[in-house]
Structure 1
């Protein structure tokens, strides 16, 4: 028998305890692991600190032995950057890349279409992060994936996807994001012919909403707008393959049933999605340009205060009203490393050369800022209230780590080798 529930979500804030069941009475009452679970289910805890109790048709331990995966399938996905590897490079250059091409000569699913750009650290000590692009034209079939190495943040840029997880399903379109935590099995279905976007994996901690401090209870990403799936299960007995990424290596095992067999669950360790268009921006209403940290959607912190494994920052449509102020991002050098991507429209500090699907990297202490045309315009603009970034959405993965680059990232075929020229026409304005 195959039981399918219509896709739906419920909304709640982080730290809340969720509970959901696809069959009435599947959740035990009063305790987590009774001697016999309702409906003949197996109780199994998913521990990612926090925790979730799942009630499934078959326990996860029931599978064939692990075996090494075909390395060619995932050859472009690197996740260990603290080792000597001829495919990794160190460079302080300001990089800008064209959009990744979606394959037309072969079928590629989500995981086969991942291309690593940069990273630092590694999963062995649970410290570091990696940044990737993805491009795919095929849905996954009878195959699921989970990472033992870290949490995955997926940012679609083109084409909606269905992220089918053990704990339920989430439809995610461009200008939405989805986070799937360490250990959660999932697959990706392509809903609009093909899809591409960006991917960040963190090896340390989890993404959380930043502490709002003096801002108070409202603004930025409001907890109520994060959506977590309801329980959904498949009672299908046929051969499936489950792929596991463990310490940067890929393994697989076969099972005799669908891995999506959780009938009910409760806890607070579950995938979630967020619509970036719901972000509530704040900014200066007097003078000066606030730090871009005011646009942080999610953060994962290191052990050093203010030093992030990754801040996920967005630049959505917003009003600028500051007086006596250079309104675009000012020129700066930064202890953090900034990887940017453009989801839609025109990024207001780079009006040319940074279209949808493009990306850029400004490493620690490498100077960067608006191109010469933007500088000239902003320096002489009439400072009346102005709506910027209308119909656009850009983002940044900002990290305290210094990133190593892959072969793909330094290949001139993908690099805008004339990026540096966007600053060449900046005039000398100094007068004694």
Structure 2
């Protein structure tokens, strides 16, 4: 049985059942009086029941035991650096860059849940408005435990190490240069093959969707058929003190049960976890002159209620051809009404080849100026413009948001990875102005 099943459309209706139990999906209705194989019917809703049909998301799960079979939840202070307290630090409008975040030491044992660290964010999960950006660093697998997020969706970007993720819907193996989205309420377990590190974009408002293409037309950017969802897989397994870890209103809680939660034999619906290979992104770019806005590189978006304005966009800068004429080809200097958090999965970012390293990050806050460093500016200004490949062997990405994000104490102080000399990369930009030119 393959781990994944290609689907014909993104956001359409999916269905899956484990080959060991053919016919597990009920025929003709969602919740019959008695389900096949003596299963329980359970619905997982990702939207209000009365949401418009185009936005209504839910999936029916047919499982050995309903998920309600667990002991009461109790506080679980296992991740000291997971927070949504955006007032613990004084605001900082400066350009910020982090060196690669540390992996756990060999003497420390951290699984995915224990290795969550919040860097920055805005809003409040209680109000269902905002976002948070985390990194995870872990060196052991989750054992007899599952995690779910009551607050929002997780978009996970592995940078180092392969994640073997088991969900209620089946299994997903996610490698660096791939992403996965585990939506609100979905239980999952993460096993690793070695020390692992990556980035997480969490959104509270809505779910991630493909951006509208507008004048681009029917094709381009991320193709719906390239998104993959798990095929059904289940385990009927009794486990003493299996831990169910819940992220609820920004805090962690744990409830125990005596069996694996991954006992879903069949499912159908349009509310599912999914993964995507970033190498399949179809780049759109100029073939005449000028530098297009980075929005042409948007893979997924979480829209706000303001048209064309996102709570968060996930944007990548993949390998591509650059052919513009009479154009400064790297990103231009700019100030933005959006917050821009960047990470680097591999290689060297085209606009800053020194200092910005895989496993590190940068944050350029709302209206904080930024742009290419001195070497990039001088090189691009004097280059002979001919068609050339850009960013080969590299994958940089951006979490962009309309919200003004605050940096946590861990991000600004505790992690000790903030690069205090970042501002110096622009200090030697020369004055070229002359009245005679």
Output the TM-score relative to the length of structure 1. Answer: 0.96
| Structure 1 residue aligned with 2:422 | 419
Q: Is the 8 A contact 1:80 1:247 kept in 2?
A: no
| Structure 2 residue aligned with 1:103 | 104
Task: Map residues 35-54 of structure 1 onto 2, 5 A cutoff.
Answer: 35-49=33-47, 50-54=57-61
| Structure 1 residue aligned with 2:12 | 16
- Cα distance in 2, alignment partners of residues 60 and 154 from structure 1: 24
Task: Map residues 364-383 of structure 1 onto 2, 5 A cutoff.
Answer: 364-383=366-385
- Cα distance in 1, alignment partners of residues 11 and 352 from structure 2: 38
| Structure 2 residue aligned with 1:127 | 129
- Give the SS at the match of 1:384: coil
| Structure 2 residue aligned with 1:207 | 208
* Match 1:294 to one of 293, 296, 315: 296
- Cα distance in 2, alignment partners of residues 255 and 371 from structure 1: 54
**Superposition deviation, residue 408 in structure 1:** 2.1
**Superposition deviation, residue 407 in structure 1:** 1.2
| Structure 2 residue aligned with 1:429 | 432
4+ runs deviating over 6 angstroms: none
| Structure 1 residue aligned with 2:75 | 68
| Structure 2 residue aligned with 1:94 | 95
Q: Is the 8 A contact 2:236 2:260 kept in 1?
A: yes
**Superposition deviation, residue 250 in structure 1:** 1.3
**Superposition deviation, residue 419 in structure 1:** 0.6
| Structure 2 residue aligned with 1:184 | 186
**Superposition deviation, residue 99 in structure 1:** 0.7
- Cα distance in 2, alignment partners of residues 307 and 158 from structure 1: 31
Q: How big is the alpha-carbon RMSD for the aligned residues of Structure 1 and Structure 2? A: 1.1
Q: Is the 8 A contact 1:281 1:318 kept in 2?
A: yes
1:218 maps onto 2:223 in alignment: no
- Cα distance in 1, alignment partners of residues 405 and 79 from structure 2: 21
| 1:236-291 deviation digits (Å, cap 9, x = unpaired) | 01221101111011111111110000000000100000000110001011000000
- Cα distance in 1, alignment partners of residues 124 and 381 from structure 2: 43
**Superposition deviation, residue 80 in structure 1:** 4.6
**Superposition deviation, residue 362 in structure 1:** 0.2
- Give the SS at the match of 2:212: coil
- Give the SS at the match of 2:423: helix
- Cα distance in 1, alignment partners of residues 115 and 238 from structure 2: 29
Q: Is the 8 A contact 2:208 2:300 kept in 1?
A: yes
Q: Is the 8 A contact 1:89 1:406 kept in 2?
A: no
| Structure 1 residue aligned with 2:283 | 281
- Cα distance in 2, alignment partners of residues 155 and 314 from structure 1: 11
Task: Map residues 228-243 of structure 1 onto 2, 5 A cutoff.
Answer: 228-239=229-240, 240-243=242-245
Q: Which runs of 5+ in 2 are unaligned?
A: 48-56
**Superposition deviation, residue 9 in structure 1:** 3.1
1:78 maps onto 2:83 in alignment: yes
- Cα distance in 1, alignment partners of residues 144 and 295 from structure 2: 41
Q: Which runs of 5+ in 1 are unaligned?
A: none
Q: Is the 8 A contact 1:408 1:414 kept in 2?
A: no
Count of residues in correspondence between the two structures:
421
Q: Is the 8 A contact 1:10 1:230 kept in 2?
A: no
- Cα distance in 1, alignment partners of residues 234 and 308 from structure 2: 41
Task: Map residues 285-324 of structure 1 onto 2, 5 A cutoff.
Answer: 285-324=287-326
- Give the SS at the match of 2:425: helix
Output the TM-score relative to the length of structure 2. Answer: 0.95
- Cα distance in 1, alignment partners of residues 7 and 90 from structure 2: 43
- Give the SS at the match of 2:238: coil
Task: Map residues 358-397 of structure 1 onto 2, 5 A cutoff.
Answer: 358-397=360-399
Task: Map residues 319-330 of structure 1 onto 2, 5 A cutoff.
Answer: 319-330=321-332
| Structure 1 residue aligned with 2:23 | 25
Task: Map residues 244-259 of structure 1 onto 2, 5 A cutoff.
Answer: 244-259=246-261
- Give the SS at the match of 1:199: strand
| 1:389-424 deviation digits (Å, cap 9, x = unpaired) | 001100000000001111122228211111111101
